[in-house]
Structure 1
C-alpha cells in the first residue's frame, strides 16, 4: 500500500487503533483534477482498504486548497478525441466503453464495504460532485462550493451525479444545479441536504470528520456494511421489495458474535468491542 504506487492519490493510516484511513486526492497544483490515472487508481485503493482487515472507515479528502476541480481537460480531450478508427460505429462503441469504465471507477466508492466519508473544502466541481455523491456521508467547510459544471462544457454529466444527486437533494434542486452549472455555496448545500454539516474552517471539519469516522469504526462492521448495502439497494426497489431484501440480509447476518457483544455491552453499560471484518 505504499503511496509511491499511486500517481494521483495518497493513502494515510490516520488512526491505527481505530482503523480509520484517509484517501487524499493528491494533485494539489492541478486542483486535484481527475486524470485517467485517477480512474484506474481509485478502485485499486478502495479494494486495498476493503480487503484490509484493520480498515473500518475511510475519509475521502483533497490535498491543497481544493477538493476537486473535476475531470482534467486534457483527459477529456484524450477520451473524446477519437481512437483513430474510420468507422463511426466502432468509434462510438469505444467511447461508450470508456465512459462505462470511468463510471465504474466512481461506483467503486459505493461497492466498498467500508463507509466512505467525503470531507470537502474549496472547489467541488464536476467529477468532484460525482465523487462526493457516491460517498456515504458528506461534510464541508464554509469555503466549499459545489458546481455540476458539465453543461458548460457541452456535456451531460455522465459519471453518476445525475443518477445520485436527485436522491440526495431532490429532483428540483438537482435539475437546477445541473442545468445552470452555478456555484452552490456551503450554506445552501447544507440547506438542500447535499452535506450533513458545515464547519467554520477546514481544520475544524477535519477534526469533526475524524471523530465521526472513529465512531463509525467502533460500530459492528457487519452492521455498518449491511446498512450501507441495504440503503444502496433501496434505490432500485419498492418498499415491499426492500423490506424483503433486508429480511433476507438480516436472516443471514443477524446471528453473529457482534450481536451478542452489542447486547452484552448494553447490559453491562460499557462500550462494545467488535472483531475486525
Structure 2
C-alpha cells in the first residue's frame, strides 16, 4: 500500500499479512503533530478501513520517539493569523480545534482495531492520540506526560475525555494538573498500557505477534467488539445490552460463525472472508 503522505507512512508487514503499520513520520522533530497531520490522519485511516486486506492497524513512531506532542510552531502560526476581531478569531479557532478533535476521533471511527506501539517520548497530544487507540503497549524506555498545562493550554483533543476512563478519574486529574513525566512501568500500573517490552525492537516484534493473532480472528466479531465497546462506554448497562442485542441480531448469523464452528469441530484453522 503506497499512499503518499507528508506526516505519515503506511506499510504492510508482508504481502499476506492483515497487519498494516501507520507510522508517524517526522522523526527530526520527535514526530510532533503539525496541522497537516490532522488533515492526513483521517484520510489514511479511511483508506485503511476500506481496504479489505487490512485486518488491524499498528500505530507507531519513526525515529527515537513516538510523539513529542503538538507542533507549537504550527500552532503559533495559526494563532498569529487572527484578524484582530476577537469574536471572529475565537470562532475560527473553535472550528480549527473541532477539526483537530475530529481527526483524533477518526481512530475510534475506524472499524479496524488500532494498536498503539509507544517508544521514547509520548507527551501532550501524543497522549490524546494513544488514548483514542483500542490497545496500547510500550517499550521500557517510553515516558509520558500530559504536558498541555505547562504551555498554557487546556488539553482539548481528547485526553481529558478519554484518559479518566482508562486510568481512573483521580489519576487523570493528578497527571493532567502536574504535567509530570511518568515511566512506561507506571503507565502499566495505571492501566494506560497493557504491557511493557524491553526495547523498541521487542515492542514491535511483540505487537506484531499480538496483531497477527487478532487479524486471524473472525472479522465481523472483531469489528463488532470494537464498535460495541466504544458505543457502550457512553451508555448505561441496560442501553449497552440493548445495543449489542441489535448489533448481533444483524451480524451474528454470518459465514464467520459457520466457519468458526466448523473449524473447532474439525480441529482445523478457520478461513474467513475479508471485510
TM-score bracket for the superposition, by shorter chain length: over 0.9
Residue 144 of structure 2 is matched in structure 1 by: 146
1:144-193 per-position Cα deviation (integer Å, ceiling 9, x unaligned)? 01100000011110000000000000001111110000111011000110
Q: How does 1:102-181 map to 2 (within 5 A)?
A: 102-181=100-179
**For the Cα contact (< 8 Å) 1:141–1:201, is it kept in 2?**
yes
**For the Cα contact (< 8 Å) 1:79–1:98, is it kept in 2?**
no
1:35-90 per-position Cα deviation (integer Å, ceiling 9, x unaligned)? 01111111111111101010101000000000000000111212322432x43222
Q: 2-side partners of 1:15 and 1:266: how far apart?
A: 27
- Residue 13 of structure 2 aligns to a residue whose secondary structure is strand
Specify which of 263, 266, 270 is matched with residue 268 of structure 2: 270
When normalised by structure 2's length, the TM-score is 0.98
The aligned length equals: 275
Q: 1-side partners of 2:179 and 2:27: how far apart?
A: 23
266-275 vs 155-164, greater mean Cα deviation: 266-275
Q: How does 1:7-86 map to 2 (within 5 A)?
A: 7-84=6-83, 86=84
Q: 2-side partners of 1:180 and 1:80: how far apart?
A: 25
- Residue 270 of structure 1 aligns to a residue whose secondary structure is coil
Structure 2: state its 5+ residue gaps.
none
1:190 has 2:188 as partner: yes
Structure 1: state its 5+ residue gaps.
none
When normalised by structure 1's length, the TM-score is 0.97
**For the Cα contact (< 8 Å) 1:117–1:136, is it kept in 2?**
yes
**For the Cα contact (< 8 Å) 1:146–1:184, is it kept in 2?**
yes
263-272 vs 20-29, greater mean Cα deviation: 263-272
- Residue 15 of structure 1 aligns to a residue whose secondary structure is coil
Residue 2 of structure 2 is matched in structure 1 by: 2
1:249-275 per-position Cα deviation (integer Å, ceiling 9, x unaligned)? 000000100011011111111221110
Residue 202 of structure 2 is matched in structure 1 by: 204
Q: 2-side partners of 1:245 and 1:123: how far apart?
A: 38
Q: How does 1:91-106 map to 2 (within 5 A)?
A: 91-106=89-104
Q: 1-side partners of 2:185 and 2:79: how far apart?
A: 36
Post-superposition, which runs of at least 4 consecutive aligned residues in structure 1 deviate over 2 A? 78-83
Q: 2-side partners of 1:51 and 1:272: how far apart?
A: 23
Q: 2-side partners of 1:81 and 1:170: how far apart?
A: 37
- Residue 54 of structure 2 aligns to a residue whose secondary structure is coil
**For the Cα contact (< 8 Å) 2:2–2:11, is it kept in 1?**
no
**For the Cα contact (< 8 Å) 1:18–1:218, is it kept in 2?**
no
8-17 vs 56-65, greater mean Cα deviation: 8-17
